[in-house]
Amino acid sequence: MALLIQRPNGTEDVIPQNIHKWHTIEKVTREVAEKFGFKEIRIPTFENTNLFLRSVGETTDVVQKEMYTVMAKETKFTLRPEGTAGTIRATLQNGLLNEPMPQRLYYILPCFRHERPQAGRLREFHQFGVEMIGTQSPVADAEVISLAKNLLDRLELRNIALYINSIGCPACRAEYHKALKAFFEKDKDNLCDTCLSRLEKNPMRILDCKSPVCSDIAANAPLIIDYLCQECSDHFEKLKSYLDAMNIEYTVNPKIVRGLDYYTKTVFEFVTTDIGAQGTVCGGGRYDGLIEQLGGPKTPALGFAMGIERLILTMEKQGCAFIEPKKCDLYIAPMGENALLKTLTITHNLREEGFWTEYDVVGRSLKAQMKYADKIGALFTMVLGDNEINDNKAKLRNMSTGEEIEVTLDENFYFNFSNIAIAAMFKESLEF
């Protein structure tokens, strides 16, 4: 029978068989972020559209082509295309700038962009991101990059290269824009319509165009690193010295500009070749003017975001280890009404102690119950019938070894089962 309604194009279902992969990412990202002193923040899924127009930039692909925007009465709302703008809005609105600086925040959230779905690039995707607010020191840039590197190492990812660049401040970028405009003017008849409009407003955005024709033209464009003012140049040199001190390998790539307008000075990417064309697994940089642009005081800030789907895809390609899915600790097969009543008591008490315990709720035969227990990967099984109830004893079967242990169904059962389960897990870990 054909399915009447399918999930929207560019979205994915995360079914129980795969959720352990997400749990791996979420666990490690939280642990690493908190190790660096970052605290979690949660923000709305949608924001006033003007937030993204002012922060992300009207000339970016995100704003021009990719945002999901709806009109609610007289107000435009947009499903967030990235996490930084909403986090900064929340920081301002909730008075976090009055707290000790720097503020160190992290988030795990879904984002939405209307673009052509492909491997590692979806219309609904998820990001882990961090924002450090209230410091202009280049050592903060190194700290944030170090956090990203630490996380990628914890996930045991390989063949990940770090690329860094500086795109300067508004002062030195004004001179760079003049040089870019002069460069692209001679080929403006060959630029796509989008880039033609960018030529006047923000010629730097042409460098980020995905059109093959525009990319070919931009290949020989002037480089921002040649136009840096002394302050931006010193900032970049110090960043490199701090990365060297932490033994973090990097390559200066003067063509990185990132896709959002709020970036200043440092920009960086961690890139892999293992997932095809969309190989950036982490991207970020400094955005010293964004808070002021959104109505706050002049406050420097920086951060990065990682695509969780891309991390999982890369880990799968490289055969990295995920957290093992949790298994049922004990499956009890009751045979008869009296056994079922006893089973309910045992199951309730074991669950109170934190054990995953299941029993038959379908009415299967004993043979079918054992097949079910095997399919769900139960670590132990126990059959309860009239004989077991009368004797107040039952046999606990270790499903991986076939070993059976007789246990007494008294008040000590829960303590004894705990010891047996722990001993079995410890033995398996030693053998592994």
pLDDT tens across 213-233, in order? 898 998 899 999 999 999 999
Q: Given a cut of 50, is residue 431 above it in pLDDT?
A: no
Q: Which residue, among 355, 302, 324, 2, has the nearest Cα to 147 in the 3D structure?
A: 302
Q: Given a cut of 70, is residue 278 above it in pLDDT?
A: no
Residue type, 283: G
Helix ranges (DSSP H) in 10-59? 19-35, 49-55
Q: 170 preceded by cis ω (within 30°)?
A: no
Lowest mean pLDDT among 56-70, 116-130, 181-195, 382-396: 56-70
Q: Is residue 362 exposed (0-12), middle (13-18) or buried (19+ Cβ within 10 Å)? A: exposed
Per-residue model confidence (pLDDT) at position 430 = 35
Contacting residues for 402 by C-beta, under 8 A, at least 6 apart: none
Please, which pLDDT band fits residue 306 given cuts at 50, 70 and 90? very high
- DSSP letter string, 361-422: SS---HHHHHHHHHHTT-SEEEEE-HHHHHHTEEEEEETTT--EEEEE-STTHHHHHHHHHH
The second-level CATH assignment, the architecture, of 330-421 is 3-Layer(aba) Sandwich (3.40)
Tell me which of 65 and 195 has the higher pLDDT. Answer: 195
Tokens standing for residue 406: 């007789």
Query: What fold characterizes domain 19-169+229-318?
Result: BirA Bifunctional Protein; domain 2 (3.30.930)
Residue type, 388: E
Alpha-carbon distance 230 to 430, whole Å? 59
DSSP code of residue 101:
S
Q: Is residue 75 exposed (0-12), middle (13-18) or buried (19+ Cβ within 10 Å)? A: exposed
Mean pLDDT of the chain: 91
Contacting residues for 414 by C-beta, under 8 A, at least 6 apart: 349, 350, 353
Number of residues that this document lists for the chain:
432
Percent of the chain's residues with pLDDT above 90: 73
Residue type, 276: G
pLDDT tens across 361-387, in order? 999 999 999 999 999 999 999 999 999
Helix ranges (DSSP H) in 205-272? 212-218, 230-245
Per-residue model confidence (pLDDT) at position 390 = 93
pLDDT tens across 184-202, in order? 988 888 889 888 888 888 8
How is the beta sheet containing 46-48 ordered, strand by strand?
A: 46-48, 75-79, 69-72
Q: Given a cut of 70, is residue 427 above it in pLDDT?
A: no
Per-residue model confidence (pLDDT) at position 17 = 94
Dihedral (Cα; 427, 422, 384, 393), 10-degree rounding: 90
Lowest mean pLDDT among 25-29, 96-100, 181-185: 181-185
Residue type, 7: R
- Phi/psi for 337 (5° steps) reads -65, -40
Per-residue model confidence (pLDDT) at position 294 = 94
pTM above 0.75, yes or no: yes
- φ/ψ region of 403 (left if φ > 0, alpha if ψ in -120 to 50, else beta) reads beta
Per-residue model confidence (pLDDT) at position 2 = 80
Spans of all domains in the chain: 19-169+229-318, 330-421
State the sign of the Cα–Cα–Cα–Cα dihedral 201, 204, 205, 206.
positive
**Helix (H), strand (E), coil (C) string for 317-369:** HHCCCCCCCCCCCEEEEECCHHHHHHHHHHHHHHHHCCCCEEECCCCCCHHHH
